[in-house]
Amino acid sequence: MGRLGVDLYPLQTGVGLDRAETFAKFLGGSPANVAVAAARLGRRTALVSRTGADPFGVYLHRALREFGVDDRWVTEAAEHPTPVTFCELFPPDDFPLYFYRRPKAPDLEIRADALDLDAIRTARVFWATGTGLCAEPSRTATLAALRARSGREVTVLDLDWRPMFWADPAEARPHYAEALRHATVAVGNLDECEVATGERDPRAAARALFDAAGGALRLAVVKQGPGGVLALAADGTGAEVPPLPVEVVNGLGAGDAFGGALVDGLLAGLDIGTVLRRANAAGAIVAGRLACSSAMPYAPEITEALTTGTGTLGRDRDQDRDRGSDVDSDRDLDPGSDPAPRAGADPATAPGPFPGRPVADRTDPATAPVSRASGGTRTPATPDSGADSGAGTIAGKG
């Protein structure tokens, strides 16, 4: 539930938007990307959001359906245009975003009285974001959806901190705390955890998320960029795993791939260490590609990345073109096309999502790099589910 829009990414790297000449169009928005990522892994997914009554809105409906995401709960808000987001590509760790969501984005016009609470309540997974808390009526709707989920597995709050979406960023923490009281899983990077809890140390931040939730939370996931990812369960068990190396093309969307693989692994009943390794691999694969939504990996690709030890998969150009990616960073990028989405499988027989056994994987936390550019309606890339190599680190979410 939440953000949906159109991503326009330049097909040239290492230049600003003032010099970029050609762009590729993609479905975007972090929750939409997570839905696509989970669908790629065989899960049946749907999105609750809104678009404008315009050609970009028509495009987004078509794209969701082509990706295998149910769009029946994506409605029109005729008074607001469908939002557009541009980025710049400065690999390996700088991907400034420019959001065009004014005067207001349709996804912030989601209303509580229009929600299908029965569908939200009965879904095996519900994914909400911090952006949904930044303005009314979306804030009330997001909290209503989370309350309807109270006590149900798996209810995820992605902290998803975007300061430019808040009229007063200082007001965010109480709203995060209210949302956390109804979530069973919290996911955020170090910056997001600091906003939500005041803590930046990974383990202290994870414990603070549990404190803020008041007993509902079962799993806290803290993404540390090149420091890997930490997960702590309510029973004190957990895992900390290192990132997967990758030659970075575009770090945006890596955190969304991580999210889709995270919920897939939880639904499959995998131990938390395996869940994190697969989620890290998914994020690394997307960081090695141009697009976000159309770059989301299939399960065999995640297995390949874990087997080979890199998120940079086969360099055959025909294969890259089919996957919608091109890892050559010193010339124009070819966004290519995409294979048809795989039909979703009904996961009704999957085991429970919160295995409680510890995993020994461990890496030292590190603070991820910060983008260098400034100005405009932009945000620096926010390091997420990190992958680190000589080529750099992955960063950010759509």
Q: What's the predicted TM-score (pTM) here?
A: 0.83
Residue 376 has pLDDT above 50, yes or no: no
Tokens 């979703």 locate to: 344
C-alpha to C-alpha distance for 342 and 364, rounded to whole angstroms: 37
Q: What single-letter DSSP state applies at residue 341?
A: P
**Region 345-364: what's the mean pLDDT?**
36
How high is the pLDDT of residue 170? 83
Taking the C-alpha atoms of residue 220 and residue 96, their distance in angstroms, rounded to an integer, is 27
When the pLDDT of each residue in the chain is averaged and rounded to a whole number, the result is 83
Residue 354: its pLDDT value, please?
A: 53
Q: Which pLDDT belongs to residue 94?
A: 95
For residue 284, pLDDT over 90 is answered with: yes
Indicate whether 164 pLDDT > 60: yes
Alpha carbons within 13 angstroms on the beta-carbon side of residue 42 total: 12
Give one DSSP letter per residue of 88-143, joined into a string.
Answer: --BTTTB--EEEE--S--GGGG--GGG--HHHHHH-S-EEEEGGGGSSTTHHHHHH
Whether residue 340 has pLDDT greater than 90: no
Q: Is the pLDDT of residue 317 over 60?
A: no
Which residue type is seen at 229? V
Whole-angstrom Cα distance, residue 203 to residue 201? 6
Evaluate if residue 199 carries a pLDDT over 80. yes
- Largest CA-CA distance found in the chain, in angstroms, rounded: 53
Helix (H) or strand (E) holding 55: helix 55-66
Contact present, 205 and 199 (Cβ < 8 Å): yes
What is residue 225's predicted lDDT score, i.e. its pLDDT?
87
Residue type at position 139: R
- Is-contact 387 311, C-beta < 8 A? yes
Per-residue pLDDT tens digits for 37-51:
999 999 999 999 999
- pLDDT tens, 91-148? 999 999 999 999 999 999 999 999 999 999 999 999 999 999 999 999 999 999 999 9
* Token output for 370: 């910060």
Percent of the chain with pLDDT over 90: 76
Q: Are 316 and 304 in contact (CB under 8 A)?
A: no
Tokens for 295, please give them: 């770059």
Q: How confident is the model at residue 314 (pLDDT cuts 50, 70, 90)?
A: low
DSSP assigned state of 185: E
pLDDT band at 168 (very low <50, low <70, confident <90, very high): confident
